[in-house]
């Protein structure tokens, strides 16, 4: 309980929150038939690559502490690239804040990035989104994305 005269720091009100983006939340860059969304994952429907994007609606002033991607990878040559990006409102210029690319593990695995560039969200100057590139080796389903979890901290109490 806070009583009169107590020293109160902003960090006393810090809270960790999570923003989840599932595979089906991503939309392909081009109108194409090479992607498949089965309500739980997103993957290429053939051996070609797929570029897709998902909006990340994060609260103004939040501090992003990590992104974690949940992948499935079938063959070693298949790859998946996942990046949290921000886009300048006035110019459209983009830069990468974090990466959680698939790794060399077969089967289900997760990859987390805790080294976030420009971690404080500024919705007055930037839009935020996830960039995804799926590059299966030889067949559909060689690599797919299940879910992305963005972990962030807020210092000002939100409802």
End-to-end CA distance of the chain: 20
Strand positions, DSSP E, 41-106: 42-44, 50-55, 63-73, 79-88, 94-99
How far, in Å, CA of 120 to CA of 122, rounded? 6
How far, in Å, CA of 26 to CA of 42, rounded? 8
Is 6 part of any domain?
no
Q: What is the mean pLDDT of each run of 10 residues along the chain (159 residues)?
A: 58 86 84 61 68 93 96 78 95 96 80 96 97 74 84 78
The per-residue pLDDT for 90 is 93
Q: How many CA atoms lie within 13 A of 149 on its CB side?
A: 11
* Domain span at 53: 11-154
Q: Which residues contact 29 (CB under 8 A, 6 or more apart)?
A: 51, 52, 53
Contact (CB, 8 A) for 134 and 43: yes
Question: Which CATH number characterizes residue 27's domain?
Answer: 2.60.120.260
| Number of domains observed in the structure of the chain | 1
Q: Scanning the structure block, which residue is given the tokens 């595979």?
A: 23
How far, in Å, CA of 91 to CA of 104, rounded? 37
The per-residue pLDDT for 46 is 63
The per-residue pLDDT for 116 is 97
Is 1 part of any domain?
no
Global pTM? 0.84
Is 136 part of any domain?
yes
Is 159 part of any domain?
no
The per-residue pLDDT for 115 is 96
- Taking alpha carbons only, the member of 99, 103, 106 closest to residue 148 is 99
């Amino acid at each position: 309980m806070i009583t009169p005269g107590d020293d109160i720091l902003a960090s006393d009100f810090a809270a960790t929150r999570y923003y989840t983006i599932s595979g089906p939340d991503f939309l392909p860059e081009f109108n194409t038939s090479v992607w498949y969304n089965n309500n739980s994952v997103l993957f290429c429907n053939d051996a070609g690559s797929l570029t897709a994007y998902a909006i990340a609606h994060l609260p103004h002033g939040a501090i992003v502490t990590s992104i974690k991607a949940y992948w499935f990878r079938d063959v070693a040559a298949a790859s998946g690239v996942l990046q949290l990006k921000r886009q300048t409102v006035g110019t459209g210029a983009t830069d990468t804040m974090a990466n959680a690319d698939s790794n060399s593990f077969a089967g289900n695995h997760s990859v987390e990035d805790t080294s976030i560039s420009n971690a404080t969200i500024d919705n007055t100057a930037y839009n935020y989104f996830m960039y995804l590139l799926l590059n299966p080796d030889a067949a559909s389903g060689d690599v797919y994305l299940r879910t992305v979890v963005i972990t962030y901290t807020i210092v000002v109490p939100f409802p």
